Amino acid sequence: MREIGINFGNKTALVQLWAPQAKKVELLVTDAGHRLALKKGHLGHWSLQTDEIKPGDKYQFVLDDDKKLPDPASLAQPDGVHGPSQAVDLNALTWTDKQWTNPPLADYIFYELHTGTFTPEGTFDAIIPKLDHLVALGITAIEIMPVAQFAGGRNWGYDGVFPFAVQNTYGGADGLNRLVNACHEKGLAVVLDVVYNHIGPEGNYFANFAPYFTSKYQTPWGDAINFDDAGCDGVREYFIENALMWFRDFHIDALRMDAVHAIKDLSAKHILQEITERVDILQQQTGRNYYLIVECDLNDTRYINPLKHGGYGINAQWTDEFHHALRVSAGQQQNGYYSDFNGLADLAKAYMDGYVYTGQYSAHREKKFGSQIVNNPGQQFVVFSQNHDQVGNRMLGERSNQLYSLQMQKLLAAAVMVSPYLPMLFMGEEMGETNPFLYFTSHQDPELAEAVRKGRKAEFKAFHAEGEAPDPQSVNTFQNSKIQWQLLQNPERQTMFEYYKALIALRKQLPALKTLNRKNVKVEVDTNKQTLTLYRWHQDQVVVCLMNFSKQEKPVNLRSEIKQWDKVFDSAEPKWNGLLASPQKINSGVGLKLQPQSVIIYTKAHV
């Protein structure tokens, strides 16, 4: 049971609130008009055991006879971020997944999706009929962008202001319950994106209750969440309880924690380490496995090293540097953070070392940057050619389909799938989605809405030759970002789907690709030819992936110690709308011609 908010037991509710600044706290059951006094306990923790509030009742906390506020640990905000909270009995959620076993993290093939734009309806329930599509594709885990309650009905989710409340327009707690059940029934793990580095601006009432923020540090969103300053104990417990709730009460399999490099904590025990320790205890109690994944751009293995080795014990991290090196290899201009990347040479380093920057000088950061990865296995790194950030933070939100040729799109997909890391797709990628994924909001505060508009325009002022940045507040911006499922009726799009399906199946079938041993990797690069040869092996199986990032046909040779190779995949085959298929068998030392922007995969022949 949560140690925060309103929780139901045998016919009574336990009400708990941390408000050390208040002299008096009451619970207002809004429809009935009842005011119930809470008793002050240790260090500003207030509590009440009562049978005068029931599941479904709306309520507010009244501080010092003055401020009527929603519950910071609210589980539902049916009237939005400014309205009263609604009591929810988490024990009443219906679970049908008793037989579910969370697969090993090494078997995860992620599919990132945004609930509001994945379907026309934009709800959890509407995702369920699409799960068969993902299962057929070969996906093993869906990753849902944040669902914590935000202002209005349109948002990426990173402006959430009620971390415990599931967005009402998506279907709330009941809708998420149904989606998780359906995923587990079909063999899909569920990853949920959570935000512990800041709280959104609209509907943010936290400072009325306790010192949730500190001016000791500044972040891109203002004062930092208070993880190590005076009064931080209640704040730390709040976010720990949030992580535990998703695992215990919503049966989520993994959490992806947003931008943890923006978490400021100089405590002797970092908040991420404490979350890991508490999740470990929960695993022992429930007998289930849970995974923690972070987005972190510090290239610091302390985050993913085990607790026993002085790390924070996080299971895996997103690896943006793989994406950046891959994109520059594909022709992305070297501006902004891409200026630090040199294409194929850095992509080769990413395949070998996980990080590109492992201590050398970074011109973009103007300092030496990163640490060397030594003993961290491949399953600790999540790689991708697209994600919500890398698409949506472009001014026009262009996906790969709008930026690259069909042949290059196929090469990008294969470059991710043959890596010794965990692959992730971004929704619609598998069918060459042409709609953009734009930045959208639905702030109710006119001043905030206008500030967001101006900020977005200012961010891209250097790109005005390409047009105006779409208005984040416009409904059209949101609607234009929705997946077009009818694309699958187009033969070329269906072929792309089958291409991704075959790639994923190959990864699962070949031990040399499936086994994420970073030590069994060798890369050869010819920057003049713009070709990269990736060797991976496991026991007696050797796989070679030949990639040509240029627009011309290029010759390559294979390792001489292996006499013969059998082809298992070729993006240039006509069945994939390619240019020309390569030989099914090839002998070592015989020159092979790679088609432009293509990939061929061979395995060592058993002769």
Active site residues: 258, 295
Cα–Cα distance list, 262 to 20, 108, 156, 226, 297 (Å): 26, 26, 18, 12, 10
**Distance (Å, whole) CA 15 – CA 132:** 41
Task: Name the region of 518 (left: φ>0; alpha: ψ -120 to 50; beta: rest).
Answer: alpha
DSSP state of 590: S
In the block, tokens 């030989």 appear at 583
Asked whether the beta carbons of 229 and 187 are under 8 A apart, the reply is no
**φ and ψ at 367, to 5 degrees?**
-170, 165
How many helices, marked H, and strands, marked E, lie in the chain?
A: 15, 31
Integer distance in angstroms from the first to the last C-alpha of the chain? Answer: 60
Cα–Cα distance list, 24 to 46, 63, 225, 250, 547 (Å): 9, 6, 25, 33, 68
Concatenated DSSP letters of 2-70: -SSEEEE-SS-EEEEEE-TT-S-EEEEETTTTEEEEPEE-GGGEEEEEESS--TT-EEEEEETTTEEE-
In the block, tokens 């010092």 appear at 64
- In this structure, are strands 67-69 and 34-37 parallel, antiparallel, or unpaired? unpaired
- 600 contacts: CB under 8 Å, gap ≥ 6: 545, 546, 567, 569, 570, 571, 572, 582, 592, 594
Determine whether 125 is exposed, middle or buried from the number of CB atoms within 10 Å of its CB (0-12, 13-18, 19+).
middle
**Distance (Å, whole) CA 343 – CA 527:** 9
Concatenated DSSP letters of 456-500: HHHHTGGGGGG-PPPPTT-HHHHHTTS--GGGGGSHHHHHHHHHH
> 564 in helix, strand or coil?
strand
**Distance (Å, whole) CA 607 – CA 131:** 42
Closest CA to 358 of 301, 399, 308, 317: 301
320 in a labelled binding site:
yes
Q: What is the 3-state secondary structure (H, E, C) of 246-296?
A: HHHHHCCCEEEECCHHHCCCCCCCCHHHHHHHHHHHHHHHHCCCCEEEEEC
Residue positions forming the annotated binding site = 256-261, 320-324, 388-393
Residue positions forming the annotated binding site for substrate = 256-261, 320-324, 388-393
